[in-house]
Chain A
Amino acid sequence: MFRFEREQSRVNIGGVVIGGQPGELPSVLCGTIFYQGQKLVEDEERGIFSRPAAERLVSRQAELSEETGCPSILHIYAKSIEAFGKYLDFAEEAWGGAFIIDSADPATRMAAAALVSEVGYADKAIYNSISLATDESEGRALGESEVDSAIILAYNPSQPGVEGSLAILETGGGVRKNGLLEEAREAGVRNLLIDPAVLPLGSGAGSALRFSVAAKARLGLPVGSGIHNAVSSWPWLSGKDAAIKKSCDASAAAMQLLAAADFLLYGPIENAEIIFPAAALADILVAEAVRDLEIVPAKVHPLHRLV
């Protein structure tokens, strides 16, 4: 819970507004579907999946959004462009809102950006991500698409920590000619979402929390993270009961929101059931903490819906 001297910008992607001062807007929650290993995916190369199971999950995310006031985005992970095409068809029919394009394969990401432009969904799409790994051809492909929203991954392996993450955004940090922010804007990105890249516990996961405050103070852009990665990659936790893992997921989400994040890439969409209440709780506490600092919560804020 902080109040930033610098004006905090907001972006509107497919009707979902992200950013602002902590306590103003509800947190935006992005659940991942079709990720590697998800049970409902039968063939990740061809994009064959159980449609009823997928519908149940996206419907539940939408219901929890409506109930809590925390907007949501569908984070679509695809292994191939063939799979992404099928997932996109599904998303348009069963979801209809903003979504994230994601793949470990740059060719799939580029083809997905082209596809959403071709079928007219680019204004609802968020490209994940522009990073140190983004080469000239990927930047050019993004520029040629109509996608103008992207997550900028501030991962700087040559200089770990908050300063290095800010450097990769602002100057290139010595490993790129230009900062990622400049390169994103050159690729036509207008809606920039900053993600510190969460490392495993023990490798610097906690720096994501301080980075979130520092990045908002210095850049005034919306910030969020996939803090659940710190939980899912924790070997000590892997043998524990599901309830214990869920409590850690919810705790990590709330801590990231307390550290000024505007959005969460909260991991498997199955976790919606625990993340939305935790995020709503964090949002209400933050809004109440800054109530006498001339920060007014939006009409849709969980503060107005759940208490």
Chain B
Amino acid sequence: MTEVVQGGGRGYEDPWPPVRGDYHVVDPLSAVAVVTLTSPMILRGCAIFGQCKTENLGIEKIVANVISNCNIRFVIICGLESKGHLPGNTLLALHKNGIDDQGRIIGSKGAIPFIQNIPPEAVRRFQDQVEVIDCIGIVDAEEIERLIDQCSRQSAPYPAEPFQVVKRRSVPAHIYAGDADMTFGSGVVMDASAWLVMQVSEGG
């Protein structure tokens, strides 16, 4: 349920980033985004930095915010990994391998590594637009800032329009409720006069 919209002369459209999350925006014209995993860090010189603790929704937000800014050509993954969830490992796997038909991130060792809210073409754009730099385990902000500086010197904006992941409103489907007054969906209805919740089969 997504579509690509065009636009953006500076490499991104306002408001950027389009998806809310646990991050800080520094300079949207910078070429570098930094994912600090579970480690709280304050960084200068990058476009955006923030923590990521989950291997599904958190990864989706990173992808959506990165590909909506063509200036970003590098994603540095640093800080301490989230045990069990492994978002750092998962982001590396996503960039390297992409997703399968069910949205599972191929090769991830995370617990539930799925992409559900962004289309496959957004993943391909992420793979194409940025280089991912594996600094997992590094928590020294100065070291990361030196790397940001190096990356910034060797990049040009991605030669395309910003990729916006926009949710399209779906048409409400008719839900069968039988003779009951209320429905909870999934074949569950309520007869309000008897205050009774029950399961019904479609059509009868």
A79 to B85, CA, bound (A): 13
Residues of A with C-beta under 8 A to B199? 5-6, 217-218
Asked if residues A210 and B185 are in contact (CB atoms below 8 Å), the reply is yes
Residues of A with C-beta under 8 A to B198? 4-6, 217
* Chain B contact patch, size range: 20 to 34
- Candidates A103, A106, A163, A235; contact of B185 at CB < 8 Å: A163
Asked if residues A213 and B197 are in contact (CB atoms below 8 Å), the reply is yes
> Given A158-B116, A214-B186, A235-B21: A293 and B195 within 8 A (CB)?
yes
A166 to B82, CA, bound (A): 28
Interface residues of A in 103-146 (CB under 8 A from B): 103-106, 131-133
B111 at the interface (CB under 8 A from A): yes
Interface residues of B in 93-145 (CB under 8 A from A): 102-104, 111-112, 114-117
A210 to B197, CA, bound (A): 12
Mark each residue of chain A from 151 to 173: 1 if its CB lies under 8 Å from any CB of chain B, else 0.
00001011010110010000000
Asked if residues B112 and A235 are in contact (CB atoms below 8 Å), the reply is no
B56 at the interface (CB under 8 A from A): yes
Asked if residues B197 and A217 are in contact (CB atoms below 8 Å), the reply is yes
Asked if residues B188 and A79 are in contact (CB atoms below 8 Å), the reply is no
A203 at the interface (CB under 8 A from B): yes
Asked if residues A5 and B185 are in contact (CB atoms below 8 Å), the reply is no
Asked if residues B102 and A158 are in contact (CB atoms below 8 Å), the reply is yes
A248 at the interface (CB under 8 A from B): no
B187 at the interface (CB under 8 A from A): yes
* Chain A contact patch, size range: 35 or more
Asked if residues A175 and B104 are in contact (CB atoms below 8 Å), the reply is yes
- Candidates A104, A160, A202; contact of B83 at CB < 8 Å: A104
Total A-B pairs, Cβ < 8 A? 85
Per DSSP, chain A at the interface is: loop
A213 to B188, CA, bound (A): 8
Residues of A with C-beta under 8 A to B169? none
Asked if residues A160 and B112 are in contact (CB atoms below 8 Å), the reply is no
> Given A104-B85, A157-B114, A235-B20: A162 and B185 within 8 A (CB)?
yes
CB nearest to B23 among chain A residues: A235
CB nearest to B111 among chain A residues: A133
A60 at the interface (CB under 8 A from B): no
> Given A162-B185, A174-B102: A2 and B195 within 8 A (CB)?
yes
- Candidates B22, B102, B195; contact of A175 at CB < 8 Å: B102
A46 at the interface (CB under 8 A from B): no
A192 to B201, CA, bound (A): 25
> Given A2-B190, A162-B185, A235-B20: A105 and B195 within 8 A (CB)?
no
> Given A3-B197, A210-B184, A214-B185: A157 and B84 within 8 A (CB)?
no
Residues of A with C-beta under 8 A to B84? 103-106
Asked if residues A3 and B186 are in contact (CB atoms below 8 Å), the reply is no
A290 at the interface (CB under 8 A from B): yes
Asked if residues A202 and B20 are in contact (CB atoms below 8 Å), the reply is yes
Ordered nearest first, which 10 A-B pairs have the shortest CB separation? A104-B84, A157-B114, A133-B111, A5-B198, A217-B188, A214-B188, A214-B186, A2-B197, A157-B116, A158-B102
Which residues of A does B touch, CB under 8 Å?
1-6, 79, 103-106, 131-133, 155, 157-158, 160, 162-163, 166, 174-175, 199-200, 202-203, 210, 213-214, 216-218, 235, 290, 293
